[in-house]
Structures are given as structure tokens and as C-alpha cells.
């Protein structure tokens, strides 16, 4: 089976257990598909974490959209603010579609590289979870 992960990965959906291991909660948007990856079309998630393909209401693969959300999450955890901001959802979506977040100077080059790959506007060029584990 292919699980099209959470689709609502965000800081508020992470908990720490007694060993300080991270647990992801709230699988309300999660879907399970058959043996092959299935494109989805449901517009869902939290706006600041939404991948461009969701913002643009295009069909998308869940793992690719989740990788974008994980990139946003990592950015928030390292920097303390969102990579894309807007006074309205429309402005936020426009900035998401432009991509290219600005990193403070104190962020290590390796972290910038990883986050930039995770926030690639082309969902097919984002790393898989295996890529992240192997390369970083």
C-alpha cells in the first residue's frame, strides 16, 4: 500500500513523548491509495505549509506535498518564522508560488541547501524521505 501521508504537517501537529521522540498527530487529511502513487486533488492543509501544487489547485502526490510542508516546518523550527508570509491568503499563495525564501546569515549552509531542496517549486525535484535520510 502507498500512504499519501498526513497532508497537514505543521508545528501544531507534533508532540514529544517521554523520550523526546517526535510524534506526528492529526491524520484527518491522510489517505491510503493502492500499490502505486495516486495523484490527489483535494485542497487541504494549513495555508502557510501548503505546497504550490495545492495552492494552484492542481493534482499532486501526497508525499511530494508533505516534503514541502516538512521544508516549511524545518524553516520554522530553525528560524522562528515562516518562509512565506502574506497579509491575506491570496498574497501568501503568490509568495509560495514565487518560492525562494530568504535565510538569515546564521543558518548553516547545509540547512539552507536541504530546506531549499525541500521547497523546490517543482514537486518532482523535491527529495524523497529516503533521499533526506541518506544525503543529510
Provide the annotated active-site residues: 8
H or E element at residue 16:
strand 14-16
Q: Of 25, 17, 130, 136, nearest to 74 (Cα)? A: 136
| CB distance 24 to 13 below 8 Å | yes
Q: How far is residue 54's CA from residue 62's CA, in Å, rounded to a whole number?
A: 10
What is the b/e burial string over 96-135, where b = at least 16 CB atoms within 10 angstroms of the residue's CB? beeeebebeeeeeeebeebbbbbbbeebeebbeeeebeee
Q: Residue 69's CB: how many other CB atoms inside 10 A? A: 25
Amino acid at each position: 500500500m502507498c500512504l499519501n501521508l498526513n497532508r497537514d504537517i505543521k508545528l501544531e501537529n507534533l508532540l514529544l513523548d517521554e523520550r523526546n521522540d517526535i510524534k506526528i498527530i492529526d491524520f484527518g487529511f491522510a489517505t491510503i491509495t493502492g500499490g502505486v502513487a495516486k495523484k490527489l486533488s483535494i485542497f487541504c492543509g494549513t495555508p502557510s505549509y501548503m505546497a504550490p501544487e495545492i495552492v494552484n489547485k492542481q493534482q499532486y502526490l501526497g508525499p511530494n506535498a508533505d516534503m514541502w510542508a516538512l521544508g516549511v516546518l524545518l524553516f520554522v523550527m530553525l528560524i522562528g518564522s515562516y518562509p512565506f508570509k502574506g497579509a491575506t491568503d491570496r498574497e501568501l499563495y503568490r509568495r509560495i508560488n514565487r518560492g525562494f525564501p530568504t535565510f538569515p546569515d546564521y543558518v548553516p549552509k547545509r540547512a539552507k541547501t536541504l530546506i531549499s531542496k525541500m521547497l523546490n517549486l517543482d514537486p518532482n525535484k523535491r527529495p524523497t524521505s529516503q533521499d533526506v535520510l541518506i544525503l543529510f
